[in-house]
Structure formats: C-alpha cells, structure tokens
Amino acid sequence: MDEPLLQMKNLSVRFFTYQGVVRALENVDLTIQRGEIMGLVGETGCGKSVLARSILRLIADPPGKIMGGEVFFKGEDILKVSRKRLREIRGNDISMIFQEPMSSLNPVFTVGNQMQEVVILHQKVNSLQAKDICIQMLQQVKMPDPEQILSKYPHELSGGMRQRVMIAMELSCRPDLLIADEPTTALDVTVQGQVLTILDDLVRRLGVSVLFISHDLGVIAQLCDRVSVMYAGKIVERAPVWDLFAAPKHPYTHGLLQAIPSVDEERDPLLVIAGTVPGLIQPPEGCRFHPRCYRRFEPCDHVVPHFREDKKNHFVACHLYGDE
Amino acid sequence: METSREPMTTPVIQAIDLVKYFPIYGGFIGRKVEYLKAVDSVSLTIHQGETLGLVGESGCGKTTVGYLILHLLKLDRGNILFKGVDVSTLRGHELQKIRKNLQVVFQDPQSSLDPRMLIKKTVGYPLEVNGIAKGAEVVTRVKTILSEVGLDEDHMYRYPHEFSGGQRQRIGIARALITGPEFIVFDEPTSALDVSVQAQILNLITELQRRHGYSYLFISHDLSVIKHVSHRIAVMYLGKIVETAPKATLFKHPLHPYTRALLTSVPKPDPGKRHSLEVLSGDVPSPVNVPSGCRFHPRCPEMTEVCRQDEPVTVEVETAHWVACHHPSTKNLERSNQ
C-alpha cells in the first residue's frame, strides 16, 4: 500500500488547569489512508475532539500543550511546520467541520461573503470566479436555489442547511483530508440522514479522506470504512468496520455495542457498563478501562496493555489478547 | 411487556383534544401578530402500568404536550382526565392535591437541580410542599428513595455539582418518585447522557415501573430509546399525532409515511444494514405557517391532491392502531421481514 495520507505517532496532549494536569491524549497512533473514511468513536470527554484539533494545531496554548509525538501529513510533520506553512495547510489540504454550524458561521456576514472569502484566500481566483465555484459547490450539496442562498444570513437557514453550507465551504478547496467533528449531532434524524448521504456521496466522488468523529455507533456503522474506538484518552481498538461490529474484541467496545437500545431486536434489560468515564486528571493505572471492565484479571490494574494487531488489521489494547 | 394491556379500568391519563397556541407579538405596538401552533388537537390515553412513548423531531410540540398534561402550561382548549376526573379546570388547593400524583423528570439534570441546595433538600422538598411529611420523616424517606434509584444514603449531604450526569439524573428521578406519584412524564431523560450511562438510566426506569406499576409518558426524539421503554408509541409531527400503535405493530406495520421515514432514517449500528438514510427531503416547516391540508404533505413521497386540501381524520385501522393519513400504506416495511 502507498504511504498513508496522515500518520499520527505517539501523540500526547495535556491541559494544565487549576485542578491539575489533564492527560487528554496519551501516546495515540492513528493512520488515515487516501480515500478512506476513518471513524473515531467514544464517549464525552474521551479526547476525540482534542485529537481532531491537534491535527490542525488548534489546541489553545495555554492551557493545552502538545507534549510529544508526530503528525505526518503527506510526509511533512504538521507539528513542526512554520506558522505560514500551517496556514496553507489549514483549509487547503485539511479542513474541518464542527458540530454546531451556527457557531462556526459568522452571523453578521452573508453565506456568500463567507464562502467566497475562503475560496479567494486559498485559490487564486477573482470574486466572480469565486462566486461560480460557490454556486457549484452549493449545487453539489443539493441546496435548492444556490444563488439565493449566497445572499442569505446564517440565521435565515435551518440547521441542516447550515451544515450543508459548511460542507460546501470546506470542500470548495478540494482538501485531501476532511475532519468532521460530530457534524450531525445537532440535527434531527431525518435531516441527519440527508446530510450524511450528501457527505458520503460527495467525499467518495471527490476522493477526499475523512476523519469522522461521532459518539453514535449507528452513524459510524453506516458511513465509515475503518473505526477507532477511544476511551479515556487512548485508542483501545481499531478495525475495519465489518470486523468491529461483527466481532468486537475490547470489552469496552463490546459493552458499548450492547448498551444501545436496538430498533431491530428486543434487549431487556440493556447490558450496562458499570460506573462512569473516569476523569483524566488521575486516570486509572494500568489499563484505563479496568475499574469498569467485567473481564479484568491480574495484570489489568498495573500493566498498561500494548496496542497490538490481534487479527489482520484488527488492533486492540487489552490483556485478554496475546501473551504479555 | 410485549402487548399493551386492555383498558379494564379507567385510564390513568386521558387527554382529549388538547390545543396550545403560543402568541407571537410583533409590529410597532407589540400586538399579537401570529400564533405558533405548538399543539393542535392532540388526544392520548395512558393506562395503569403502561408507558406511552411520544416521539417526534425537535419543535414538533412533544414537550408542550407533556407540560400541558402536568398543568405546567395553561390549556387553550381541551380536557385532561386523571383517573376519570376532569382536572383541567382545577385551581389552587384542589390542583395541588392532584399534582403530587403527577410528576416529571426533565431533560437536563444540570439545570433542573438547584446548585445551592443539598440533595436532601432537593429530594425532600416535594414532601414538605405537599404536606406529606416533616422533619425526621423526610430524612428517612429521602434515604429510602435514594437507595431505590441506586444512590448511597450519604449522597444526601452533597451538592449537585459533586455528581456525574447519570447520578444527577438519578436524583431527578428520586425527586419525582418521592411523593408516590402514579403518573410520571419523562422529558428526554437520557438525551444529555452517554450511551453507557443511558443504558443504566433506562434500565432503572423500566425496573421502577415493574416494581411499582407507575404509568409513564416517555418523550424522546430517539426511536431506539422509545422502542426500548414503551408499550405503545405515538408519533408526532408539527403539533399533531399522526400515528399511535402498540410498539410491535408500529415497528412492523407503520402506516403513516412519516413514521416509515423516521424508522428508516435511524442509522443502525450494523454495517451489514447499510442503506440510504435519505428518505425525506426538506426540513420540518415552521409551526407558525402550518401547511394546508395534511401537514406532512410538502415532504411526503405519496402526496396527492387531496392531501393538499383536506386534513386527514384519525381513524382506527386495526385494533389500537390509529393513523391520520389519506393514503396509509398497506405494505410492510421490508426491513422487518429479514
């Protein structure tokens, strides 16, 4: 296989707060191949968004600090490039969609204004050409009457339309990698369906790689090629989407899948993962999941499990697998 | 808990033809210019020991229905019968006597607990307000109810910020249970929680019902959650209930096109069942300018001329299966036959 588009090695991020040092990410590895949709799933506060933001160096410093690691994008370490080069990468090569489209659009400028600014900044075109590009992109995300939309303000659009504007804007510069941080969480289910279909369709057509972050395993299953499961600042399992949902290896992944009420089958009572997500100021020793794990045994509370390949392409960090 | 019970006795809650319009003020001197039709003649019945799930997208009026039944909002029209007695016209002392039987658990456990009140006070307050217990009696009752919802006794000497989201929701449930209600409204009780914690709360809610025979109105936008807890399900769209049926029936033979669209657009956690999630075009229209005829017609794939003009009547198609549609589908959802 060719060199991966993005390769994250040993990334650690900490936040220095009054309460203590938050170990938000610890030695995280992640690779994204060209043209694939990589899902990143985990519960609130497990570090999904920190991971996404640190790819673009969007961690506020202070209080946050990237402690170590490398993020290679097309052979270049993003963590080491100059500010000027970083600006070129942002938006041009890697772009990002956030959860709440209202807060990522400026309320006092029209949609057209904001979209054209992005296009003019990153591609060497004049404003007329930029407008054409914008209209074209809005058609691609199936917005009715794109020219009208350009002259509207964000508050005049519905949530689903705003998120489609964001998708159009982010893809207008044909990035190689799109980071989508919970893009449909704020939307209703029928609208979520529309947005996901458009996103899926468009990125596959343009050949854009996606890092798709969600807490919703349903959305992940419908969209992604490979999935990484995060727990308390670490990736605990990574596998092709089929393997992960058919045969989850990590007890946490297994528990997550069992804890969702299903539309298709009767589950009563729901399997429960005891306890709650630990705080990251003093995460549990050894395997971070061990206090909640129903299969813990001797080494779990003091030995940190390695992230190892248990089956072809199926990685897991758990003492149940392999001999350590 | 498969089928709904036959109405042997009078239902716990009977809501008849509820209407709530919120005025919108505007213009130069702030006159009423329009109405937001939040709830437009909604009727529903909830029996003893039963959970009625109320599902719909945001802004469809499901929370307003819950608040109307609880008297937290004033009705514009309609009647609410609690065990056969019309309570919609009660005021003052009379109303308060009824109220301890009707309780609510809110969506956001963060904002529904007073940050400056000890848990003991928060949970015990309904007892004092309703004159059920005083002093030491309150403390014993609070202890019992806390262990009932899976918290420790000594949690009552803490403040809300010391708890996680899931625990806060347990406190919210304890506060609702302490007056010994017969009917509880759950307004999206798990939508602010993570999946692993959500499962704990859902199990608790169903377990409590089994133990004490409470009747629930469970409001949610999440179909899989609704399916898990409910006996019967009512689907709401733009202020109206478009379909009501026992759970199994609704999922096997959904009749209203909107129900079918909702069912297919839920992303399933199974990559083997990938399919297009895009089943409906457009957005939910504003409840201020409600479409003519059937409210769903601008988005409906089976729309005909009659839908545009006449509002469909709610009819009972089969036993306990009500639908308001001109062209109720007769075909089963393919998905259910796998």
Q: What pLDDT sits at residue B259?
A: 92
pLDDT at A116: 92
Q: Does residue A225 belong to the interface with chain B, where contact is any CB pair within 8 Å?
A: no
- Distance in Å, alpha carbon of B273 to nearest chain A alpha carbon: 8
The answer as to whether B121 is a domain residue is no
Model pLDDT, residue B256: 92
Shortest CA distance from B276: residue in chain A: A197
Residue B190 has pLDDT above 60, yes or no: yes
CB B215 within 8 A of CB B231: no
pLDDT value at position B105? Answer: 93
Residue A132 token pair: 């054409």
Average pLDDT over residues B114-135: 90
For B287, other C-beta atoms within 10 Å of its C-beta total: 21
Question: Which residue, among B169, B250, B252, B270, would best test binding to A if mutated, counting the most A CBs under 10 Å from its CB?
Answer: B270
Helix (H) or strand (E) holding B173: helix B165-177
Q: What is the pLDDT of residues A174-202, one digit of tens each?
A: 899 999 998 888 888 888 888 898 889 88
Q: Please tell me the distance from the alpha carbon of residue B172 to that of residue A186, in angstroms, as a whole number.
A: 24
**Choice between A11 and A276, residue whose per-residue pLDDT is larger:** A11
Is the pLDDT assigned to residue B330 strictly greater than 80? no
pLDDT of residue B8: 58
Q: How far is A254 from chain B (nearest CA, A)?
A: 11
How far does Cα A19 stand from its chain's mean position? 27
Band of residue B182 on the pLDDT scale cut at 50, 70, 90 = very high
Mapped onto helix, strand or coil, the DSSP state of residue B267 is coil
In A, which residues are within 8 Å of B58 by CB distance?
188
Q: CA of A280, closest CA in chain B: separation in Å?
A: 14
Residue contact A221–B270, C-beta within 8 A: yes
Q: Give the whole-angstrom CA distance, residue A227 versus residue A244.
A: 7
Q: If you average pLDDT over residues B49-60, what whole number do you get?
A: 91
The pLDDT value given to residue A173: 85
CA dist., res. A268 & res. B199, Å (int)? 10
Please check the confidence at residue B59 and state whether its pLDDT lies above 60.
yes
pLDDT at position B336 is: 40
Find the CATH number of the domain harbouring B69: 3.40.50.300
Mean pLDDT of A51-55: 90
Whether B1 maps to a domain, the answer reads no
Q: Distance between CA atoms of B333 and B255, rounded to whole angstroms? A: 9
Q: What is the spatial distance between Cα B102 and Cα B323, in angstroms, rounded to a whole number?
A: 28
Q: Dump pLDDT digits (tens) for A266-321.
A: 777 778 888 778 888 888 888 889 888 888 888 888 888 888 888 888 999 998 88
The Cα angle at residue B153 between residues B148 and B156, in degrees rounded to 5 = 105
pLDDT the model gives residue A1: 53
Contact: A270, B228; criterion CB under 8 Å? yes
Q: Residue ranges of the alpha helices (H) in chain A?
A: 48-55, 83-92, 101-104, 111-122, 127-140, 146-150, 159-171, 189-206, 217-223, 241-246, 251-259
* Closest residue in B to A195 (Cα–Cα): B278
Whether a cis peptide bond, with omega within 30° of 0, leads into A62 is yes
pTM for the whole structure: 0.86
| Residue A276 to residue B197, Cβ atoms within 8 A | yes
Judge if the upstream peptide bond of residue A269 is cis by omega within 30 degrees of 0: yes
Is B280 part of any domain?
yes
Q: Are B223 and B55 in contact (CB under 8 A)?
A: yes
pLDDT tens per residue, range A60-107: 878 888 888 889 998 889 888 898 898 888 888 999 988 877 788 889
pLDDT in tens, A194-232: 889 888 988 888 889 999 999 889 899 999 999 999 998
φ, ψ of residue B243 to 5 degrees: the values are: -155, 140
Which residue among A194, A259, A270 places its CB closest to the CB of B278?
A194
pLDDT of A109 > 70? The answer is: yes
A271–B227 C-beta distance less than 8 A: no
B321: pLDDT confidence band, cut at 50, 70 and 90? Answer: very high
Residue B100 has pLDDT above 90, yes or no: no
Chain centroid to Cα A163, Å, comes to: 16
Q: Which domains does chain A have, with CATH numbers?
A: 6-93+177-265 (3.40.50.300), 104-174 (no CATH)
| Residue B4: band (very low, low, confident or very high) from pLDDT cuts 50, 70, 90 | very low
Whether the pLDDT of residue B273 is over 90: the answer is: no
Domain assignment of residue B46, yes or no: yes
**Number of domains observed in the structure of chain B:** 1
The DSSP annotation for A36-91 comes to -EEEEE--TTSSHHHHHHHHTT---TTTEEEEEEEEEETTEETTTS-HHHHHHHHH
- For B160-184, what is the mean pLDDT? 91
Locate B54 and state its tokens.
Answer: 């109320």
Q: What confidence tens digit (pLDDT) does each residue in B7-32 have?
A: 457 899 999 999 999 988 877 777 87
Closest by Cα among A92, A313, A98 to A213: A98
Long-range contacts at A257-260 (CB < 8 A, ≥ 24 apart): A257/A217, A257/B269, A259/B195, A259/B196, A259/B198, A259/B199, A260/A217, A260/A218, A260/B195, A260/B199, A260/B224, A260/B269
pLDDT at position A62: 80
* Backbone phi and psi for residue A22, each to the nearest 5 degrees, phi listed first: -90, 115
Is residue B108 in some structural domain?
Answer: no
Non-local CB neighbours of B242 within 8 Å, separated by 6+ positions = B235, B236, B256, B258, B259, B296, B323, B324, B325
pLDDT-based confidence at residue A323 (cuts at 50, 70, 90) = low
Q: In what order do the strands lie in the sheet with B13-26?
A: B31-46, B13-26, B77-82, B85-86
* Interacting residues of A53 by C-beta distance below 8 A, sequence separation 6+: A59
Q: Has residue B162 been placed in a domain?
A: no
The model's pLDDT over A303-315, given as tens digits with 9 standing for 90+, comes to 888 888 888 889 9
Q: What's residue B281's pLDDT?
A: 79
Question: Do A44 and B194 make contact, defined as CB atoms within 8 angstroms?
Answer: yes
Residue B219 structural domain: 13-101+181-267+276-337
**Whole-number pLDDT of residue A102:** 75
User: Considering chain B, what is the average pLDDT of its residues?
Assistant: 87
Residue A46 has a pLDDT of 86
Place of tokens 């039963």: B50
Top-confidence residue, B337 or A199 = A199
- A279–chain B Cβ distance below 8 A for any pair: no
